[in-house]
Amino acid sequence: MKILYLHGWGTKYSAKNPKVSALKSIATVVGVSINYARPIGEVSDLIRKTVEKEKPDLILGSSLGGWWASFMSVMKNIPFVAINPSLQPQHTLRRVPTSGIDYAGREYMLSPETIDAYTNFLTAGTGLVILDLGDEFLDAYETKLKLENRYEIIAFPGGSHRFDHIYQSLDSISAFYQKVSNKE
């Protein structure tokens, strides 16, 4: 299995990321560093080209990367796993300063046009949603309520937005992939 990992806002892809390191125990993991402050069309093109080049079997994203995982799942018909996903980036990105230095040390300018280009989380793809109920940034209970009729949800008590339960999720991620790959 090959997983394309999509990180969250303001960070970058790193093979040393704890989620990436854990995922490497069950799959080959590839990724790309994304500046989500760029116009949505540029971000979409970068992720689409990465999907076409890497040909992943599964797209796994965290936070805003979870939104993009669901989006690319619909566009490219690839199953996804969303960890603590942003359901409405057009609202949550308004909490981010419009300019500054992100967690990866890059200067950014986040325009209202970029924020407004986002839509609600797509629910047409094949996915698994994994949540830490202690997420301090996004309302995991609301996410569970909004998505539980569409996707399998795994919710861990406690935890954080960074997601503290990756190792406990590995068997579920593998089982989800096995289930959806056997349908093809």
Q: What is the pLDDT of residues 36-57, one digit of tens each?
A: 999 999 999 999 999 999 999 9
**What residues make up the domain containing 49?**
2-183
- Confidence at residue 30, expressed as pLDDT on a 0 to 100 scale: 98
- Residue 177 in this model has a pLDDT that exceeds 60: yes
- Written as one string, the DSSP assignment of 57-77 is SEEEEETHHHHHHHHHHHHHT
- Residue 184 in this model has a pLDDT that exceeds 80: no
Average model confidence (pLDDT) across the chain = 96
Structure tokens at 15: 């093979």
| CATH classification at residue 67 | 3.40.50.1820
Separation in Å, CA 134 to CA 139, 162, 177: 9, 10, 26
How many domains does the chain contain in total? 1
Q: What is the pLDDT of residues 2-39, one digit of tens each?
A: 999 999 999 999 999 999 999 999 999 999 999 999 99
- Confidence at residue 183, expressed as pLDDT on a 0 to 100 scale: 66
pLDDT category of residue 182 using cuts at 50, 70 and 90: confident
